[in-house]
Amino acid sequence: MINLGGVFPPLPTAFGTHDELLTDKLQENIRSLNQYALRGYLILGSNGELINLSEEEKNRVYVAAREAIPHDKLMLAGTGGQSTSETLKLTAIAASAGADAVLILNPSYYRGLMNRVALVSHYHEIADHSDIPVIIYNMPANSGLDMDAETIVEISSHENIIGLKDSGGNLTKMAQIIDETDDDFQVLAGSAGFLVPAMSIGAVGGILALANISPEHCMAMHTRYLAGDFKGAAHFQRKCVKLNNAVTRGWGVPALKAAMDHLGLYGGPCRKPIQNLDQEKAEVLFKLVRQLNEQTLI
């Protein structure tokens, strides 16, 4: 069993101005973030632009990331594909590269056919053949498919499926999942915008885009809640909402990459056809970054 309790940044993938993959820049970002007491990193999640990379590029990213991630920090690898066979292959590649667990987004292109039977079969077949643990990924904003609590609970029954990243933000559903799954099934909030409320119903941590650009504030929410400082945790929860919205539901990956560039990390361009953040939005974003960074952590 892997302990998922803590904060994970979902790392953006670094590209150059000609769409080329820059694994050295990815490694520089990881080494910069290694100074913080993060639980680990998610490689090739939604913020990593998984769907925009070839299989060969995905392997290069997995290998490069593992080289830069210390072994006391977990490497979670996104391996979700549209078919079970594709997902099985990517999962094996990630395991060979040294991932500690895989995060699998549900297939969604034929979402009208992705009923409970299909989804349970998909996840259980992958878990049957995976050498490393599997984490369910529910991300309705991107997939267009919001798995219901009953489906997730049934998927969780497999012994090699250890947790869930839920980015939907439906706390009522999350509470039902936590209540109806085994005690060792671990739920992670998929956004810093609801980390503290999620922890209040039993989530163990979060995979948070905001942790790429404000890891200390994200960890402050987590550690203060665990220490029983609920007022302090709630304070940081409120303060992070505006910036978190900008780099998630608001402007997404382009905003996250622009904020990273602004802070001296490497954000770089998104892979086309995703467009970079325009200057007007960037100015608003940078103001939000400054406002959050001015918040004391004491």
Q: Is residue 32 part of a domain?
A: yes
Distance (Å, whole) CA 135 – CA 46: 14
Q: Is residue 219 part of a domain?
A: yes
Residue 292 and residue 214 in contact, taking contact as beta carbons nearer than 8 Å = yes
Whole-number pLDDT of residue 17: 95
Q: Is residue 215 part of a domain?
A: yes
Give yes or no: 231 in active site: no
CB atoms inside a 10 Å sphere around CB 245? 17
Whole-number pLDDT of residue 115: 97
Give me Rg for the CA atoms of the chain. Answer: 18
The domain containing residue 166 runs over which residues?
Answer: 6-293
Distance (Å, whole) CA 162 – CA 272: 34
Q: Is residue 56 part of a domain?
A: yes
* 3-class secondary-structure state, position 279: helix
| Residue 75, token pair as written in the block | 């490497």
- Using alpha carbons, list the distances in angstroms from residue 172 to 91, 169, 178, 263: 31, 9, 10, 36
Q: How many domains does the chain have?
A: 1
Q: Is residue 26 part of a domain?
A: yes
Distance (Å, whole) CA 286 – CA 208: 19
Distance (Å, whole) CA 230 – CA 202: 14
Cis peptide before 273 (omega within 30 of 0): yes
Residue 89 and residue 55 in contact, taking contact as beta carbons nearer than 8 Å = yes
Mapping DSSP onto H, E and C, the string for 98-153 reads CCCEEEEECCCCCHHHCCHHHHHHHHHHHHHHCCCCEEEEECHHHHCCCCCHHHHH
**Please, is 86 exposed, middle or buried when counting C-beta atoms within 10 Å of its C-beta (0-12, 13-18, 19+)?**
middle
Q: Which helix (H) or strand (E) holds 8?
A: strand 6-8
Whole-number pLDDT of residue 298: 59
Residue 250 and residue 259 in contact, taking contact as beta carbons nearer than 8 Å = no
Q: What one-character DSSP code corresponds to residue 50?
A: G
Q: Is residue 298 part of a domain?
A: no
First to last CA, the chain: 34
Q: Is residue 79 part of a domain?
A: yes
Residues in the chain with pLDDT < 70? 298
**Residue of 25, 58, 73, 165 marked catalytic:** 165
Whole-number pLDDT of residue 78: 98
Residue 72 and residue 249 in contact, taking contact as beta carbons nearer than 8 Å = no
Q: What CATH number should be reported for the domain holding residue 11?
A: 3.20.20.70
pLDDT tens for 109-156 read 999 999 999 999 999 999 999 999 999 999 998 999 999 999 999 999
- Using alpha carbons, list the distances in angstroms from residue 112 to 117, 120, 144, 168: 12, 15, 10, 19
